[in-house]
Amino acid sequence: MATEEGKFELIKAWQLLGGYEQVEQAYLDTLAKVETWESTRDKAGLIRSMAGFFMQLGLQKGARSLYERLLEALENKYKEEYSTIVYHHRHYTYKRQCVHLEVLEVIIQLGLVCRSLGELDDARKYLYDVISRMNKIRTPAQKLQLVKALLGLGSVLRLQEKAEQAKGYLKRAQEIATDILGKNHHYVAAIVGQIGELSYGQGRLEDGLIHHLWDMQLTQNEVGLSHPRVGAILNNIALVYDDKNDKLAGDLFKGVLNIMVQAYGQNHVDVAVVRYNLGAFLFANNLFERARYQFNEALRIFQLFLGGDHPDTKSTTAALEKLKAFVN
């Protein structure tokens, strides 16, 4: 569970058992049995790996609960030895905060989980908290952690439709990462991809496409063509072609769906996202029955993992309502 390869092996095993519905309770029951472990490091490592696995499966609520639990334990462990004074610019107050790398990493992950859950205000709070704590950055590891926080905050602001603020954070993340890793590193490419998503959201389709293709080239060189990360980039490229009314979008969405299903099985949030996009493409091309199937499958998965109040669930429900005017 601690490595990406190990996580994919576990994913395949749970697919054989019928899906992910039992995963959360099974692992939490196991965790409860090891609460008496003497080694706090081993316990923290287990919780961290478990939370990351939950995130990959789309079990975001369980992941958030584990990260909150882990954060409390790590802050209590490190707060005396690793702390700094943080100034709150709105309240004009000073507060001592823990700055251990493990603590900051957990706060970043909490921000990313909240983003996935659609709880954007909480996500922004966590990610800004990390950035405000990092007031003495010296090592490459600290700089890359700052990049991760900047990247996360930029993505949250993009979702909140604060494009100019988002662009500032993403560009700063790109500058720091490029300085440390070089412009051809796949992590820099991922940042470029996020800038491409921002351009797409602003209607600058050609600019967005250029960024996504750069991201695609570097990422596929790193992980191959069948990896979910490549699938996510292809999904973004398909969205651009869809907005350009290019039929290639449909073939790309189908290819992405195949990649995601092969990696995660049918019941996964990333699969649902692609099904929604494919459904929208089919709807726009008057293939109403096929569109309804994709929307229904997407809605089933969103409701299962995200609940009825999540923006993705609501968007899919609205799409099905619009579709009723065209099919019986």
In tens, the pLDDT along 155-178 reads 999 999 999 999 999 999 999 999
pLDDT, average across residues 142-157: 94
pLDDT, average across residues 196-214: 90
| pLDDT score of 306 | 86
pLDDT band of residue 152 (cuts 50, 70, 90) is very high
Q: What distances in angstroms separate CA 137 from CA 40, 82, 88, 131, 141, one per listed residue? A: 27, 13, 18, 10, 9
pLDDT band of residue 296 (cuts 50, 70, 90) is very high
Is the predicted pLDDT of residue 253 greater than 90, yes or no? yes
Is the predicted pLDDT of residue 261 greater than 90, yes or no? yes
pLDDT band of residue 295 (cuts 50, 70, 90) is very high
Is the predicted pLDDT of residue 234 greater than 80, yes or no? yes
Q: Is the pTM of this model over 0.85?
A: no
The one-character DSSP state at 82 is: S
pLDDT band of residue 287 (cuts 50, 70, 90) is very high
Asked whether 272 and 297 are in contact (CB, 8 A), the reply is yes
Q: Which residue matches tokens 């905060």?
A: 97
Most confidently predicted of 2-11, 78-87, 130-139, 229-238: 229-238
pLDDT band of residue 148 (cuts 50, 70, 90) is very high
The one-character DSSP state at 162 is: -
| pLDDT score of 35 | 56
* C-alpha 39: how far from chain center: 30
Q: Which of 306, 259, 318, 295 is nearest to 116 (CA)?
A: 306
Is the predicted pLDDT of residue 235 greater than 60, yes or no? yes
Q: Which of 156, 143, 155, 229 is nearest to 186 (CA)?
A: 229
pLDDT, average across residues 199-215: 90
Q: What percent of the chain has pLDDT over 90?
A: 54
Is the predicted pLDDT of residue 142 greater than 70, yes or no? yes
Angle of CA points 56, 227, 146, to nearest 5° = 60
Least confident of 146-155, 186-195, 276-285: 186-195
Name the more confident of 289 and 17. 289
Asked whether 249 and 285 are in contact (CB, 8 A), the reply is no
| pLDDT score of 177 | 93
Residue 133 tokens read as: 């704590």
Asked whether 221 and 189 are in contact (CB, 8 A), the reply is no
Is the predicted pLDDT of residue 188 greater than 80, yes or no? yes
| pLDDT score of 23 | 60
Q: What distances in angstroms separate CA 116 from CA 73, 130, 198, 229, 252, one per listed residue? A: 24, 18, 17, 16, 24
pLDDT band of residue 58 (cuts 50, 70, 90) is confident
Q: What is the mean pLDDT of the chain?
A: 85
SS3 83: strand
Asked whether 51 and 63 are in contact (CB, 8 A), the reply is yes
Q: Which of 180, 91, 73 is nearest to 132 (CA)?
A: 91
The number of beta carbons lying within 10 Å of the beta carbon of residue 146 is 20
Is the predicted pLDDT of residue 278 greater than 90, yes or no? yes
Q: Which of 278, 275, 287 is nearest to 313 (CA)?
A: 275
The number of beta carbons lying within 10 Å of the beta carbon of residue 280 is 21
Distance CA 310, CA 17 (A): 28
Distance CA 151, CA 170 (A): 6
Distance CA 232, CA 254 (A): 12
| pLDDT score of 271 | 95
Name the more confident of 264 and 121. 121
Q: What are phi and psi of 86, to 5 degrees?
A: -110, 130
Distance CA 56, CA 50 (A): 10
Name the more confident of 177 and 15. 177
Is the predicted pLDDT of residue 121 greater than 70, yes or no? yes
| pLDDT score of 60 | 86
Q: The dihedral of CA 64, 65, 68, 74: what is its sign? A: negative
Q: Which of 150, 152, 155 is nearest to 172 (CA)?
A: 150
pLDDT band of residue 54 (cuts 50, 70, 90) is confident
User: Half-sphere exposure of residue 8, counting CA atoms within 13 Å on the CB side?
Assistant: 9
